[in-house]
Structure 1
Amino acid sequence: MLRKWRSWGPPVLLILPSLTLVGVFVYGLIGANLKTSFTDQHTRATEGSFVGFENYTALFGDETFRFALRNLLLYTGAFVLGTLLIGFVWAWLLEKGVKGEGFFRAVYLFPMAVSFIASGVVWRWLLNNAEGERAGGLNRFFDQMGVGFLQNEWWTHPRWGIVAIAIPAIWQLSGYVMALFLAGFRGIPLELREAGRVDGASEWQLYRHVIFPQLSPVALSAIVIVGHMSLKVFDLIMAIAGQTNYTTQVPATQMWIEFTRGDYAKSAAIGTVLLLIVAVLIIPYLVYTYRQERSR
């Protein structure tokens, strides 16, 4: 028994503090949130009694929540596609060997050092919805450049306002995706490229049949990382549009509104739905990476 303790005891003691903190402040709070979502605690005064899935049924019957889910889908689609496209193009240009690569890498990665709150304050001015002589930000720039037809309502647009919120997010995270793709490019052995050229492959065929397949794990990682960040968007929307703007409502902002109103049960139900949405994206990725590691 003592011999077994000496073999596995010290490792367990080493990770015990982390396991305790994670168990209490992550899984413990998730359990408390789930418990609250099954109660009728809609005011601060009552503790709430068990009502089962009643809150979830009411939630999906709420037009505001369905609109928030639609906004989240639009934002996630624009955010993921934008960061993947711009990040890949930047990485491809740097991989070609441009002069001053270190400078451009720093410029592209710098936005990551800025918080969404700080950048949101600036982008709120840039995405000013005033037009004509009263225009400011990008609308003012378009007017002075003689392309006033590009002026629009940005995040105040009743249908596509949430897509405008994705613009600063794309600007901020494209550098991170660029770094992932650039590392993927640099990780491809030169022998594979040379073998493809010796076999007579054109540049497009080389990318299609040799380079792109090698970058698929990087692209999958980028989609999962950026995708789960987009699903939890909150601070950027609060900094640009605030919590009262209906056109940019997403589940995270609606959860905050319900929490500040004292409707803890509905807020907890929204939080649980968000957790499940993120889990749908993350768990298959974790299973995939685990199987890849086992097959090596």
Structure 2
Amino acid sequence: MKAKLGQWGPPLLLISPSIVLIAVFVYGFIGINVQQSMSDAHNAAKVTGRRPVSFVGFDNYVDLFAQESFRHSLTNLLLFTVVFLAGTMLIGFCWAWLMERPTRGEGLFRSVFLFPMAVSFVASGVVWKWLLNANQGAQASGLNRLFQMIGLPFLQNPWWTHITFGIVAIALPAIWQLSGYVMALFLAGFRGIPEELREAARIDGASEWQLYRHVLFPQLSPIALSALIIIGHMSLKSFDLIMSIANQSAYSTVVPAIDMFNYKTTYDFANSAAVGAILLVIVAVLVVPYLVHEARARRSR
């Protein structure tokens, strides 16, 4: 027993500050948020303590899901996530596939593709707000003006102001901004495959398509899973890009993160905390299976 304590004591002592900080500022605050979400703190009087706060259990969650506006936010979030994931994964993978073999000027292309990732969502949102301007005809600007100039006026549309698919337009700048990141992940995966595997497949008579389909692509499945998890959880928490292009009152682009902000500005801390808890659960459903899969994969090695 003493030997075990002597063995584990120094490492535990070394990481104990991090454990304490995580326990307080991560799990402690999660607990406070959940507690707040189960209270009736829906107005300034409750928040400032002029009226007592009562425990209401899961009533706030039930009320949220009963609201059509919140269900619309969840639908928007689903649409945004699906389009965002599909766009970044497809474009990022295609770019990596094209650049998989060393080519002249590769460094320049890589820098161009990765540059959008270095721009903040707020800065790019300001630019894309102009590009996705809904004005058409004589007042057209941005992309609508471009379509008009090149003789494709039928492509003009209201973009993010569209009542049903406005959130899909918001996904376009998000795809533009993070496709380069997915490209970098897949490109690193391609470059990490030993050349011996390629040579062995060619010696066995595999064509280039068979080489990619049966040898290279299966090697990229861990990369694809990691990219899905990273991009997926980023899409679920989207806030700054949407706020920069639209605003918190735009019904066509509202998502749960915007609802959380709106509730907070009206001192409805209980519903704001409830929305935050719901987002946490959604992210956990996406991330926890990945962490379990990774832990099992490490044990099997």
Q: Which residue in the other structure is 1:189 paired with?
A: 194
User: By how many angstroms is 1:227 displaced?
Assistant: 0.3
The reply on whether 1:247 has 2:258 as its aligned counterpart is no
> How many residues are paired up?
296
SS at 2:57 equivalent: coil
Structure 1 residue aligned with 2:271 = 266
Unaligned regions of 5+ residues in structure 1, if any? Answer: none
Q: 1:3: how far off?
A: 6.2
In percent, how many aligned pairs have the same letter?
A: 65
Which range is displaced more, 136-145 or 44-53? 44-53
> More deviation in 97-106 or 74-83?
97-106
Q: What is residue 116 of structure 2 aligned with on the other side?
A: 111
SS at match of 2:17: helix
Counterpart residue number, 1:29: 29
Query: In structure 1, how many angstroms separate the alpha carbons of the residues matched to 2:291 and 2:89?
Result: 20
Q: In structure 2, what residue type is equivalent to 1:31?
A: G
* C-alpha distance after superposition, 1:42-100 (max 9, x if no partner): 11212421111111111110101100000000000000010001101111111133211
Equivalent in the alignment of 2:49? none
Structure 1 stretch displaced more, 74-83 or 195-204: 195-204
280, 286, 295: which one aligns with 1:290: 295
Counterpart of 1:247 in structure 2: which amino acid? S
3-state SS, counterpart of residue 40 of structure 2 = coil
Q: Partners of 1:284 and 1:11 in 2: how far apart?
A: 28
Amino acid at match of 1:80: L
The letter of the residue matching 2:206 is A
The 4+ residue runs of structure 1 with deviation greater than 4 A are 1-6
Q: Which amino acid aligns with 1:168?
A: P
Q: Give the drift of 1:2.
A: 7.4
Match of 2:15 in 1: 15
Q: Does 1:146 align with 2:151?
A: yes
- Aligned equivalents of 1:2 and 1:81: distance in 2? 54
1:221 shift after superposition: 0.5
Give the TM-score normalised by the residue count of structure 2: 0.95
Which ranges in structure 2 are unaligned for 5 or more consecutive residues? 47-51
1:217 Cα deviation (Å)?
0.6
Using the alignment, how far apart are the partners of 2:124 and 2:288 within structure 1? 31
Normalized against structure 1, the TM-score is what?
0.97
1:75 aligns with 2:80: yes
- What are the residue-to-residue correspondences of 1:1-296 with 2, within 5 Å? 6-46=6-46, 47-296=52-301
Q: 3-state DSSP class of the match of 1:95?
A: coil
Per the TM alignment, residue 5 of structure 1 is displaced from its structure 2 partner at its CA by 5.4
* Aligned equivalents of 1:87, 1:219: Cα separation in 2: 10
- Structure 1 residues 4 and 295 mapped into 2: Cα distance closer, same or farther (>3 Å)? closer
Secondary structure of 2:193's aligned partner = coil
For residue 225 of structure 2, give the secondary structure of its aligned residue in structure 1.
helix
CA distance in 2 between partners of 1:98 and 1:86 (Å): 19
Structure 1: distance between partners of 2:14 and 2:123: 38
In 2, the alpha carbon distance for the partners of 1:130 and 1:245 equals: 16
- State the distance in 2 between where 1:171 and 1:20 align: 39
